[in-house]
Amino acid sequence: MRKAQMVLLSFRVTNFRSVRDSGWIDAGDVSALIGTNESGKTNLLIPLWKLHPAKNGEIKLMADAPRKDFNTYRQMKPKPIFIAARFEMSDALAREVASLAKASTESVKRVEISRNFDGEYYITFPDAVPSKTISKNDVEGALKAARDELNGLSEVDAADTTLKAASLASIDNALTELGEEAQLIIGPEAVKSLRASKNTP
């Protein structure tokens, strides 16, 4: 038997028919929904099916949105998400995705897929760490744009003149410090420091 490429870990239904927010529901090898008739069990499973239906399964806003919200949802762009599901990839698939994303296998092994009432999909990796590498050219371009914007401003009084001069000096210092490096590794503290320098008279 072929091993599944992705295994469902949990799912969450929001604003679908009678379900406002199911919260995250764990899914194991064997799962059961127990409740009385008309208690909403089907309205928890249909969204999961509509996440990726084999056939039919089209989203019908009039039938699938909460009745009292239909007119509101019809006007919204983008429309609300109604299903989100978390999966764990097989090792082979995780390695393939990691190679494409230039990330570690562990950071992409868990994936969250959601869908909204427009049928649009959103894919996120909860364990992925955002890159802290910013190219020198991007930083340099942002600093030069800020310098040009400041140069285009008119001073009203002496305080404005002093602040503008100090800000331009800070930007010029930052540009000088870029040096000949091909890349900069900028963490949150460095970004805060740079922002502070721009606002210090």
CATH number of the domain where residue 87 is located: 3.40.50
Kindly report the average pLDDT of the chain as a whole number: 82
- Whether residue 88 is predicted with pLDDT greater than 90 in this model: the reply is yes
| pTM of the shown model | 0.61
Tell which phi-psi region holds residue 167, choosing left (phi > 0), alpha (psi between -120 and 50) or beta. alpha
Contacts (Cβ under 8 Å, ≥6 apart) of 148: none
pLDDT at position 41 is 85
Q: What is the pLDDT of residues 1-25, one digit of tens each?
A: 456 689 999 999 999 999 999 999 9
Same domain, 36 and 54: yes
| Domain enclosing residue 153, as ranges | 133-199
Exposure string for 38-70, b = 16+ CB within 10 A, e = fewer: eebeeebebbbebbeeeeeeebeeeebbbeeee
Given 96, 124, 152, the domain boundary residue is 124
Same domain, 181 and 144: yes
Given 124, 141, 157, the domain boundary residue is 124
Same domain, 115 and 17: yes
Contacts (Cβ under 8 Å, ≥6 apart) of 180: none
Of the pLDDT bands very low, low, confident and very high (cuts 50, 70, 90), residue 80 is very high
Q: How many domains does the chain have?
A: 2
Same domain, 94 and 156: no
pLDDT at position 49 is 92
Please compute the mean of the pLDDT values over residues 150-158 and round it to a whole number: 79
Q: Residue 106: inside a domain, yes or no?
A: yes
Q: Residue 186: inside a domain, yes or no?
A: yes
Q: What is the pLDDT of residues 163-195, one digit of tens each?
A: 888 888 888 888 887 764 544 445 555 555 555
Q: Which one is predicted more confidently, 130 or 124? A: 124
Same domain, 120 and 30: yes
